[in-house]
């Protein structure tokens, strides 16, 4: 059993398996992500990176094993508490997933409206995160009038607006040019420095080399090795 009193871990997995029918996507994953970690989950396409993130934000259920988030065992969380648990996460996707017919402001404010926050607080908070990502001048724009890099900055703002403990990013720079990717990674680094745990799934080795951080390797659904990559350090682990 996992020790639920382990204070320094924000996420723990213990012998986790995930199957899609007969397809084994994750096999016997045991890992520990400390609070305020900045960690990459990497490995080739099909290795199970997206599935691992989905287990964390409860888009998929674990087939076998245990997941603890902030000391809460997911298998023991009552259904009605799942929305609360999801609010611990801010999630960023490769394809931004902004609502096309809503403005930049609305895409970000919806998170707080769903959480029942007061109008005045919503205004203040949304403006502050849009300023943080450099999109305060585009509040009334519709997503498709923005570049990919700008759309992803709005998605980062949306992920941050609820003050999540953990940011999950699934190939966040996968559709971006190098400059836009650099801006997104700098934002994620800032978020980390301000005290949030950041977990980034990517197959992009150059991105990891450029950014630096702890790296967890997945290979055919199994956790391979774990190492630390310094920024700009051409490490032999790849």
Ligand X SMILES: Nc1ncnc2c1ncn2[C@@H]1O[C@H](COP(=O)(O)OP(=O)(O)O)[C@@H](O)[C@H]1O
Q: What are the residues binding ligand X (CB under 6 A)?
A: 20, 23, 25, 43, 45-51
CB nearer to Mg ion: pick between 93 and 105: 93
Q: C-beta of 201: minimal distance to ligand X in Å? A: 6
Q: What is residue 92's three-state secondary structure?
A: strand
Which part of the chain contacts Mg ion (CB under 5 A), choosing from 47-55, 134-142, 143-151, 220-228? 47-55
Q: Which helix (H) or strand (E) holds 226?
A: strand 222-229
Which part of the chain contacts Mg ion (CB under 5 A), choosing from 36-44, 49-57, 109-117, 131-139? 49-57
Residue 152 binds which of Mg ion, ligand X, none (CB < 5-8 A, kind-dependent): none
Closest to 191 in 3D by CA, of 211, 216, 215: 211
CB nearer to Mg ion: pick between 143 and 172: 172
Cβ neighbourhood burial of 102 (10 Å; 0-12, 13-18, 19+):
middle
Residue 197 binds which of Mg ion, ligand X, none (CB < 5-8 A, kind-dependent): none
Q: By CB under 5 A, is residue 50 in contact with Mg ion?
A: yes
CB nearer to Mg ion: pick between 49 and 125: 49
Distance separating alpha carbons of residues 203 and 49, to the nearest angstrom: 9
Closest to 4 in 3D by CA, of 53, 78, 74: 74
Cβ neighbourhood burial of 137 (10 Å; 0-12, 13-18, 19+):
exposed
CB nearer to Mg ion: pick between 32 and 204: 204
CB nearer to ligand X: pick between 26 and 108: 26
Q: What is residue 205's three-state secondary structure?
A: helix
Q: By CB under 5 A, is residue 42 in contact with Mg ion?
A: no
Which residues of the chain form contacts with Mg ion (CB under 5 A)? Answer: 49-50
């Amino acid at each position: 059993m996992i020790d639920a009193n382990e204070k320094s871990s924000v996420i723990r997995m213990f012998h986790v398996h995930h199957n899609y029918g007969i397809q084994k996507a994750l096999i016997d994953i045991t890992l520990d992500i400390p609070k305020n970690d900045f960690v990459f989950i990497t490995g080739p396409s099909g290795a199970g990176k997206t599935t691992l993130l989905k287990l964390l934000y409860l888009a998929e259920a674990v087939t076998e094993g245990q997941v603890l988030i902030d000391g809460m065992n997911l298998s023991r969380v009552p259904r009605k508490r799942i929305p609360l648990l999801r609010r611990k996460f801010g999630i960023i996707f490769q394809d931004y997933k902004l609502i096309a017919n809503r403005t930049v402001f609305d895409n970000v404010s919806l998170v707080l409206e769903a959480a029942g926050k007061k109008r005045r607080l919503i205004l203040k908070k949304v403006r502050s995160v849009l300023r943080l990502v450099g999109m305060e001048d585009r509040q009334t724009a519709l997503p498709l009038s923005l570049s990919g890099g700008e759309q992803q900055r709005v998605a980062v703002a949306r992920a941050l607006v609820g003050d999540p403990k953990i940011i999950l990013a699934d190939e966040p720079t996968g559709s971006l040019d190098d400059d836009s990717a650099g801006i997104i990674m700098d934002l994620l680094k800032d978020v980390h420095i301000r005290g949030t745990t950041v977990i980034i799934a990517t197959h992009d080795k150059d991105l990891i080399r450029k950014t630096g951080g702890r790296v967890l390797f997945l290979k055919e659904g199994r956790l391979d090795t774990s190492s630390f990559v310094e920024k700009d350090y051409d490490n032999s682990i790849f």
